[in-house]
Chains A and B, each alone.
Chain A
Amino acid sequence: MAIDMTPAAGVGAPTDLEARGLKAAKPWFTGNLLTALIGGAIGYAFGHWLGNAIASNYSVVASGAQNEVAIYLSLIIGCVGWFVGLGTFNYPIQKLLGLEPIDPPKSEKRTFLEHFSYSTDHKVVGVQYLFGMLLYFLVAGLLALGIRTELLSPVNHIWAPDTYIEIVGEHGTMMMMMMTSVIMGPFGNYLIPLMIGSKKMAFPRLEAASFWFTVPSFLILLSALWQGGFQSGWTGYAPLSIQGGPGQSDYDVAFALMGFSMICASINMVATIINYRAPGLRWSRMPILAWGMITVAFTMLLSVPVLIDGLYVMSLDRGVRTAMLYAGHGGSSFLWENLFWFFGHPEVYLLALPGFALTVELLPVFARKPVFALKTSTAGLIGVAVLSFFVWQHHLFMSGMNPDMRPLFMLTTELISIPTGFLYLVAMGTVWRGKIRFEVPMLFLLAVFWNFLWGGVTGVYNSDVPVDALVHGSFFVMAHFHFTIMGQLMFAVFAGVYYYTPLIFGIRLNDKLGKISFWIIFVAFNSTFLPLFMIGLLGQPRRVFEYAVRLQHLNQWVSISAYVLGFGILLYVINLIWSLAVTRTPAGPNPWESRGLEWQVGYPVPRDNFIKIPVVHRDPYGYGTGDDTPVADLNPVGDKAAVVTGGDA
């Protein structure tokens, strides 16, 4: 195995510069949030000027329509300015000038301000992602409460119909866009190097970029609210989206930026997991979270470019009046539906798979047993990822497109329940004769299985064309994907945050508050979304602000439950912030008695994770074997080859 085992591998200052004819160069400046905002503002203004210079004499613009070219250019060049301000381009430009960039020496401890800078430390990026994602989630969640408030009454309206549609679109888009990274961002970046015994991620600069793409993406998407929003929902169906105003351009650019973030993050993840595994960490010993990350990363790499392509086509239609998505002028509205769902269906698994992986990763710690059928769980992840590329037209069963292909898409969609079902096989086998510890993270994990069961079985209803004829486009579908995504992914995230705060911050969250918040979240979540299945079956379409009067009581029940759910999540966040900022109860080195390599390193994680590259001897799930020796040797000596191949499987 070609891994340099010496302490300095991959970190520190390069030597022998002069012999290679290079000059050392310090970074010109260290970018942070402030410089990025300044750069972004300058870029925005320049882009707007340029757009006006180019397109103000277009006939549509001259006749009073919005100059979309100026809006697109201001957002795109604003984003370039943002990255200039962050110092992203310092390194490549110095390289081009024949200089050898030298990073300033890192302090042993992470500072608070470092989290606002363009840091290439995977642990800093992980923490940036953690709080970024929490912020995005809470903002989008608040919008959901806006939706539920409107639906308290079928006749009395809080919002105007256009405001209502804006809120629905913002909520959906923000959740679906940003939450793709809610596990890969914080947990993937922070934990993968620790789990696979690496000092760093493969591409730290890409990693930093992946986070800093999410910030302008979020800001631009949110800014749409002040520009009339977009009326097309997160699916952006043309030609409705072609009709939209500047808010729709925000949707295009924001979604594309998030796409770039996903591509950067996933390239990094694939390269790291393939190339940076420590000696002895065979594929068969790899933690299931790492399997989840590499599977999701491959899926992102193959699906996200299609989305960006679609957004590009839509931008051309909107900006310079091509007609690729516009029927009657040579284009077709089916084109967007195909491009969008070719990304969109793998994307819902991009949301679900990391949740599965994290759940299976944590389950054995609390069941005190090895993962049951470990290879099957890996096969489940890969199976779902592969099949996810062959199901997209089940969103279009009613569309009139390729109607004769529906039996095929019905088959592929139903086949996906087989690998998804593996998750239940693994979970049920893992708890069998375990010694379950009902800690707060475990409660969330058990809730994942309760919630996802509802989401999973109702997925079968959606895939069956005759039943889909009833439920398509109704609240039934909406309840279904909230059970699979929020009930599964977000509950796994709640478990993960609770579980990993001792490792990341050395702090244990308040257990009592944790349990209270869990029960409120769990009960209110089910009380919110189970009745929505009924509401959908009784004929209420999605995204409407007026509904049948007979459904008012059910809708009110749901809205009130949603407020309680919001309160529960708030309590969870208060617990997190209160414990981190005020009480700061130290957690101890390995509070959950996990066998994972990340816990063997423990808190505080050294700046470079490992002094030496460790040698891994077994997978991290050997609970109950009576063998308490650690999974890896953190200070390997002697004949490496012998050590590498040693140890039991």
Chain B
Amino acid sequence: MAMTQEERNERREYAKKAGWKIFAIWLVLSIIAVALILYVWGPHMPPGDMTTSAASQQFDFKVLTAMVAPVLLMVWVYGGWSLINFHATKTDRGDGIPLRGNRKVQGLWYVGSAVLVLFLAGFGTYELINGNGVGTGEGPSPIWKPTAKHMLVVQVIAQQWRFTYRWPQFGGMETTSINLPANTTVQFDVTSLDVIHDFWAYQLGVKADANPDVNNVAYTTTSSQLGRFTVRCDELCGIWHGAMYNYGHVVSKSAFYSWASNMETKNASVTKLLPPFATTYTPSYSGAGGGYYPSYDPNGHAVTY
């Protein structure tokens, strides 16, 4: 059914007039929303900036929110406008205009959404690589590593339903609590003795699955902020999953070294009963049943730091 020239002009005029109004409302609201997101909410966004990886996560969250807000507003403003202006009334229950498409609008939408999405993918990739994995588990042989010369290595051993920590640079001692020094790059080697767990240190911005027989490495660098952080298991690991959490502290370097050497001496008698430090451990049926781990573990990958 062909459209007359008048109909075409009328549609164009209407779209132009209404379109500008919708655009103006959207623009004003978007500018306000983005400003609020960047400057008011932004500095308080989770997970804070206690470490480099937490700060990167916060920055990404901020950028995404600032980009998402105009998209939400576009749909809301347009939708609100349409619901107010384009509805049937008691007297008028006719049909709308038989509009089946519009090449320009559709084309603009395809290009616009593609540009937005490709930018987001590029941005995320840049942040991921530039942030050395932004605190995520990067598997046994990470390719994105921090350049720091001296890294503190902490092995996180998860099991149903607790975390223990091994410190290869402190005689391979094992502790049930975790302290970290300020202004230090930390390498977490995360593994599990039974099922899949996940080591989530919320304020540190570190999250890595603990898989049995796999070493999952994550990096972060602490800042000069001191204080407590929460460690929670973030992968369902059985009935006490909800109770699998503890707390750690970021402390000054000197406080950390005195704590660590203290623990090393205190735990020395236990440490020598442990299997040699390795990236993974396989508890043997005979060894772990009430006794200690066997000294030789065929599946363990012994390393020295």
| Residue positions of A touching B, CB distance < 8 A | 161-162, 164-165, 231-233, 235, 237, 239-240, 243, 327-328, 332-334, 367-374, 376, 396-404, 406-407, 410-411, 414-415, 417-418, 421-422, 424-425, 428-429, 431-438, 446, 449-450, 453, 457, 460-461, 463-470, 472-474, 537-539, 541-548, 622-627, 648
Contact = CB atoms under 8 A, between A and B. Distances in A.
Contact of A232 (B127, B200, B236): B236
Contacts of B106: 373, 376, 425
A286 B289 CA distance: 65
B236 A333 contact: no
Contact of B239 (A161, A429, A538): A161
Contacts of B93: 435, 437
Interface in B69-119: 71-72, 75, 78-79, 82-83, 86-88, 92-102, 105-106, 109-110, 113-114, 117-118
6 contacts: A239-B212, A328-B213, A400-B217, A433-B96, A437-B88, A543-B242
A466 B47 CA distance: 11
B121 A410 contact: yes
Contacts of B241: 165, 543-544
Interface string B263-274: 000000000000
Contacts of A165: 236, 238-239, 241
Given A243-B238, A429-B101, A539-B47, A328 B195 contact: no
Given A472-B234, A546-B242, A457 B68 contact: yes
Contacts of A240: 195-196, 236-238
Contact of A470 (B47, B124, B142): B47
Contact of B53 (A334, A434, A436, A469): A469
A327 B110 CA distance: 46
Contacts of A469: 53, 57, 134-136, 205-207
Contacts of A332: 213
Contacts of B139: 400-403
B205 A470 contact: yes
A546 B244 CA distance: 9
Of all A-B residue pairs in the complex, the 3 with the closest CB atoms, nearest first, are A400-B216, A544-B242, A327-B213
B98 A623 contact: yes
Interface string B169-213: 000000000000000000000100011101010100111110111
B187 to A, nearest CB: 14
Interface residues of B, number: 96
B96 A372 contact: no
A179 to B, nearest CB: 21
Contacts of B140: 400
B61 A432 contact: no
Given A460-B68, A539-B230, A368 B94 contact: yes
B95 A465 contact: no
B232 interface: yes
Specify which of B56, B87, B93 lies most central, judged by the most chain A CB atoms within 10 Å of its CB: B87
Contacts of A473: 198, 200, 207, 234-235
B137 A403 contact: yes
B49 interface: no
A466 B46 contact: no
A89 B25 CA distance: 65
A469 B239 CA distance: 24
Contacts of A369: 95-99
B131 interface: yes
Interface string B137-168: 11110110000000000000000000000000
B243 interface: yes
Contacts of B282: 328
Given A327-B212, A461-B64, A161 B242 contact: yes
